[in-house]
């Protein structure tokens, strides 16, 4: 392989000049220094210059140092050995346990973290299978269906990560499926809490975790989800397994990509985000698919900056989802957990063909009652509840009972609150709703 020379150093951006045999985009190159610093080719400029990203953030690189091509993309080992461990974007262990030994690594297949060759996806031959979360409000309003994409949308501190932890605990235990978690740009404390929760509930043995937390540079944060998806694809296609993939937080992925765009001096779009925001989202979301081998069921959290649901990044990610669970600060302020804004949440999976006629008809009736409740609140504030008609008062009281009914305690919070967690089957939930409204 040909060698290049480091010509420009600008933070995480390094420009390398090659006299011949230029590297490909997304190829790995290594600096000929003591650390063998890994660099990722981002683009090729002016015919002889490769713009590279310093994945490890190694600041010891100097101008004039030689760089060697690898001839391959950023690859990670894939296999059952990855389960039960915590990895960074380059599949290096960050859980305090030793790296896999050389003999084991040599036997494990390697996969590029970037999009593989196109594979046809199909849901036609796979019946829709509902995965029960045990959380009443979700199982009723936004059913969790195998092979589909669900998003939890909300601002800071409204419970996105706790809700994700509860769903990992409940769904992974009930389904027996393999779980893969991608921590993208979130707090280290939250990652540690999740690890401890999974360990305490003996779920680590069926979970592989990838973390690029907010202390990492934007290169690692932008790659961590791709590494997690690569392992999920291997289990789906080579091992023919159904996978649960949890990503927390998709907005931080866009944020990391935006930071990279800034340091590379790309012109931003009108909304302030990178000009490639649409392709950045599609490149990831299009890999979360089901095919004849198996399925990837994805649960993604999406942070809403300044509680602005019209934010371009939030809107673009939302378009890729089958169901959206919106968490509201106003609902949280009422002491209701999970703080789901029922009227703002939606699902394209709530059809009689998927959830059945009984569930669908109950949902239609409950939605009507809750909509009426919202309209009556303004009237009651003026004239009082006693002035309502008997029918309106009855529906108003039903709505209040429903709102309380959909509040519940979480299993993952039991050690912190001392209150036992609850798990409700979908049948239990439907029976409870019928008792209130019929």
> Hey, which residues are catalytic here?
160, 186-187
Cα 83 from chain centroid (whole Å): 18
Q: What would the two tokens of residue 278 be?
A: 């649409």
CA distance 399 to 313: 33
Q: 400 in the Ramachandran plot: left (φ > 0), alpha (ψ -120 to 50) or beta?
A: alpha
Neighbours of 161 (CB within 10 A): 21
Among candidate residues 408, 329, 283, the one with its CA nearest the CA of residue 153: 329
Q: Could you give the CA distance from residue 265 to residue 422 in angstroms, rounded to a whole number?
A: 50
Determine the length of the chain.
Answer: 438
Give the Cα separation of 191 and 94 in Å (integer). 12
Inter-residue contact 224 to 183 (CB < 8 Å): yes
> And the tokens for 164?
């994700």
The answer to whether 293 touches 226, Cβ cutoff 8 Å, is no
375: exposed, middle or buried (Cβ count in 10 Å: 0-12, 13-18, 19+): exposed
The closest alpha carbon to 203, from 235, 234, 246, 240, belongs to 246
């Amino acid at each position: 392989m040909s060698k290049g020379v480091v010509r420009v150093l600008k933070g995480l951006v390094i420009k390398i000049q090659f006299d011949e045999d230029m590297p490909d985009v997304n190829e790995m190159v290594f600096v000929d220094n003591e650390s063998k610093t890994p660099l990722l080719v981002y683009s090729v400029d002016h015919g002889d210059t490769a713009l590279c990203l310093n994945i490890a953030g190694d600041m010891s690189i100097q101008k004039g140092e030689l760089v060697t091509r690898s001839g391959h993309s950023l690859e990670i080992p894939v296999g059952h050995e990855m389960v039960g461990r915590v990895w960074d974007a380059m599949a290096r262990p960050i859980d305090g346990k030793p790296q896999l030994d050389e003999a084991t690594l040599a036997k494990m297949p390697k996969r590029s973290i970037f999009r593989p060759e196109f594979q046809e996806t199909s849901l036609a031959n796979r019946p829709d299978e509902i995965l029960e979360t045990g959380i009443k409000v979700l199982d009723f309003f936004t059913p969790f269906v195998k092979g589909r994409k669900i998003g939890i949308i909300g601002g800071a501190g409204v419970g996105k990560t706790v809700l994700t932890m509860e769903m990992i605990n409940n769904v992974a235990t009930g389904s027996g499926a393999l779980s893969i978690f991608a921590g993208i740009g979130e707090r280290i404390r939250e990652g540690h809490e999740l690890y401890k929760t999974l360990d305490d509930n003996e779920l680590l043995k069926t979970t592989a975790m990838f973390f690029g937390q907010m202390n990492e540079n934007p290169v690692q944060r932008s790659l961590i989800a791709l590494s997690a998806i690569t392992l999920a694809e291997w289990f789906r296609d080579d091992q023919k397994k159904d996978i649960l993939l949890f990503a927390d937080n998709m907005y931080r992925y866009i944020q990391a990509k935006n930071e990279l765009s800034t340091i590379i001096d790309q012109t931003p779009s009108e909304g302030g985000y990178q000009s490639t925001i649409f392709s950045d989202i599609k490149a990831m979301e299009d890999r979360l698919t089901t095919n004849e081998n198996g399925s990837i069921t994805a649960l993604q959290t999406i942070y809403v900056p300044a509680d602005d649901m019209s934010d371009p990044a939030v809107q673009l990610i939302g378009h890729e989802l089958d169901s959206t669970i919106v968490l509201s600060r106003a609902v949280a302020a009422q002491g209701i957990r999970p703080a789901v804004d029922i009227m703002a949440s939606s699902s394209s999976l709530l059809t009689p063909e998927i959830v059945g006629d009984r569930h669908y008809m109950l949902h239609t009736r409950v939605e009507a009652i809750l909509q009426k409740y919202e309209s009556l609140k303004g009237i009651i504030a003026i004239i009082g509840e006693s002035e309502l008609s008997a029918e309106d008062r009855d529906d108003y009281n039903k709505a209040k009972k429903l709102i309380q009914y959909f509040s519940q305690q979480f299993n993952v919070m039991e050690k912190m609150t001392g209150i036992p967690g609850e798990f409700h089957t979908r049948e239990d939930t439907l029976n409870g709703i019928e008792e209130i409204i019929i």
